[in-house]
Every structure is written in structure tokens, then in C-alpha cells.
Structure 1
Amino acid sequence: MKKLFAFLCLATALTACSESNDARYLIAATPGEPVKNLSSRSIEVRLVSLPTYASASEIVSEGEGGALFNEDRAQWADDPARGMSVALARGLSDRTGAAVAVEPWPLNTPADVRLDVRVDQSYARADGVFEFSGQYAVSSPEGRVREFVKRFKIETPVAEPGPAASARALSAALAELSRQVASSM
């Protein structure tokens, strides 16, 4: 009986350890080409707005019949909205040379522009393409630059099934979005 009890305790402990060791994937910024003639010296990136399924910690992908499913035991390493916001801020900083920060703006002087990104879709489709779409708005609290709203639809290839490939595809999509935003300012 003692051996059975010890075995059950060991099995429970191993199960608990394996459940807490879910794989976590970073939402990373990838480097890009600099943009010339940017009229803004400072950019505040508002927290990215995501649909419910994309704001969860689990990584999702499209399965049979178009339904979205959680990837097996795979999660984002950071809150997705924060991770995407930070990746966009880094991408814009690298591309533009401007002072870029995620809200709240940390300086006393307001930023020249504020970027607001609202994502409609963000998932790996069953056909091997990562879809990242929505709209972004550039506003200027002090009226220093022209304000506008633009739609975006970015599709990046997903090399193979799985969360690591989805994370790489999202990083590539965020790099492309930062390029589009920087080019439009």
C-alpha cells in the first residue's frame, strides 16, 4: 500500500511539473530597413487592441473547418497586446531613429504622434499563411503632423505547422507593419 501511495504521489508530482512547463514563445521585433525623411521625432505607441482569441496567452491556429484551436501546450511568453506593442515600438525606433515608447508616454513633452493599432485577425491559417490584419491610426495631439487612419492586411508564410513557426510569422508581420507605418508618416 505504501508503494502504491508513493507511486501515486510521484505520478501526481510529475504531472504537475509537466503541466507547468508549457512552451512559451516570444513576440519579437525583427530588424528592418531605415526610413528617410520622417517628420516625427517622437512616437507614442498605444497598447495594441486585439480580438479575444488573440489576446489570450494560448497560441491559436486554424484547424479543419475553419475553427481556431489552441496549439498544444504553447503560450506567448508575454501578454500578447503588450508584446505586440513593444515589438512595434522597437521596429519603429529601429526604422525611424525617433524616440518611441509604449504608453504611457514617459517624457514631459508630449510625443509628436500617437499610433493606435487595432487588429482584426492574427492567426496561422490552415493553408500555411499567417494572417495579420486590421487598421492603424496616427494622431497628433499637438497638430504637428497630418492625422490619418489606414487599413492593413499582411500575410506571411508559416514554414511548418506549430507554434514556433507561428511566432516567427507574427514577428515578420509586425516588422512589415512597422515598415508600413514608418513609410506612411
Structure 2
Amino acid sequence: MKKLVLSLCVAGALAACSSANDPRYLIAATPAERVKNLSARTVEVQLVSLPSYASASDIVSEGDGGALYSQERAQWADDPARGMSVAIARGLSDRTGAAVAVEPWPLNTPADARLDVRIDQSYARADGLFELSGQYAVSSPDGRVREFVKRFHIETPVTERGPAAAARALSAALAKLSRQVAVSM
């Protein structure tokens, strides 16, 4: 019995060491050009909704036959929903000059508008493109901003194989999404 417990402890320690050394990649906000001033001075970005494969910490890509596989034991450095939400908020703020924050809203006065992003697809495809698709909705609790729902389908090139290229392509796709949202508002 002691040998079994000792074996389990050693196996657990080895597993912890190997996962601690797995590479982790940031979901980064890319620099943005100014688009326009929004009618909303403040925007709350709700936590992005993701499909289960995209909400996991593993970075996935499409393989032969359309199946999704984890890339080289690589992981996202942050929770994907939080990381994407922060990148969108940063991109929207940089492009518009509005005060943008991820939920929960940090100020006493409610935000003029709320952005709800629901992602259907988010992965590096086998054909060398990163696909980011879904819908976003802008709501306004006090009616100051026009409310709407729009679909989006963004493809960005994955310039090489591997998780670092997938992370750069996702960042570029999120920058395009931030621009689309800013232009729509």
C-alpha cells in the first residue's frame, strides 16, 4: 500500500512539473488606429461566450479530416473568455476613446452601452486561416445608444504552423472584431 501511495505521489509531482513547463501564449490586444468617437461615452464588455473547445486552456487547431487537436501541449496564458474580453475592450477603447471595461462594471454610474460577444468558431483551420465567427449585441439600459445584434465572420492568416502563429492570428482577428464593433456603434 505504501508503494502505491508513493507511486501516485511521484506521478502527481511529475505531471505537475510537466504542465508547469508547457508554453503559454497571451491573447493580446494589438495596436489600433482611431476609428471614430462613439455616441456612448462608456461601454461595458460582458464576458465573451465561447464554445467548449475554445474555452479550454489548450490551444487547438484543425487537423486532417476536420478534427480539432491540442497544439504541442501549448496553453493560453489566461482564461480564454477573459483574455478575449480584455482584448476586445482594449481594442474598442483604443479605437474610440470611450471608457471601456470588462464586467463587472467598476463605476457607480451604469455604462451607456453593453457589448455581448458570442463566439461560434475560434480556431486555426487546416487551410492556413484562423476563423473567428459569431455575433455581437449592443444594448443600452437607459436607451442612449441604438441597440442591435450583428453577425461577424473574420478570417486572418496563420503565417506558420504552431501555437505562437495561432495566438498572433487570434489577436489580429480580435482587433478586426473591435474595429467592426466600433464602426457599428
Q: Would the TM-score normalized by the shorter structure come out above 0.5?
A: yes
* SS of equivalent residue, structure 2 residue 161: coil
- What's 1:27 paired with? 27
- What's 1:173 paired with? 173
- What's 2:164 paired with? 164
- What's 2:7 paired with? none
* SS of equivalent residue, structure 2 residue 106: coil
Give, in angstroms, the shift of residue 113 of structure 1. 0.3
Distance 1:51 1:14 in 2: 31
> CA 1:13–1:36 in 2, change beyond 3 Å: closer, same or farther?
closer
**Within-5 A mapping of 1:135-154:** 135-154=135-154
- What's 1:111 paired with? 111
Give, in angstroms, the shift of residue 136 of structure 1. 0.1
Distance 2:42 2:49 in 1: 21
* SS of equivalent residue, structure 1 residue 169: helix
- Please, what is the CA RMSD of the aligned residues? 1.8
Give, in angstroms, the shift of residue 15 of structure 1. 7.2
Q: Is residue 32–residue 91 contact of structure 2 (8 Å, CA) maintained in 1?
A: yes
* SS of equivalent residue, structure 1 residue 83: helix
- 1:29-49 CA distance string (max 9 Å, x none): 001111224211000000000
Q: Is residue 121–residue 134 contact of structure 2 (8 Å, CA) maintained in 1?
A: yes
**Within-5 A mapping of 1:122-133:** 122-133=122-133
Distance 2:123 2:29 in 1: 17
Distance 1:181 1:22 in 2: 34
- 1:35-78 CA distance string (max 9 Å, x none): 22421100000000000000000000000000000011100000
> CA 1:140–1:160 in 2, change beyond 3 Å: closer, same or farther?
same
Larger mean Cα displacement after TM superposition, 35-44 or 110-119: 35-44
Distance 2:49 2:19 in 1: 29
> CA 1:140–1:14 in 2, change beyond 3 Å: closer, same or farther?
closer
Larger mean Cα displacement after TM superposition, 143-152 or 35-44: 35-44
Distance 2:181 2:31 in 1: 15
Distance 1:184 1:140 in 2: 14
Give, in angstroms, the shift of residue 19 of structure 1. 3.8
Percent of aligned positions that are identical: 82
Give, in angstroms, the shift of residue 130 of structure 1. 0.2
Q: Is residue 37–residue 98 contact of structure 2 (8 Å, CA) maintained in 1?
A: no
> CA 1:108–1:165 in 2, change beyond 3 Å: closer, same or farther?
same
Unmatched runs of 5 consecutive residues or more in structure 1: 1-9
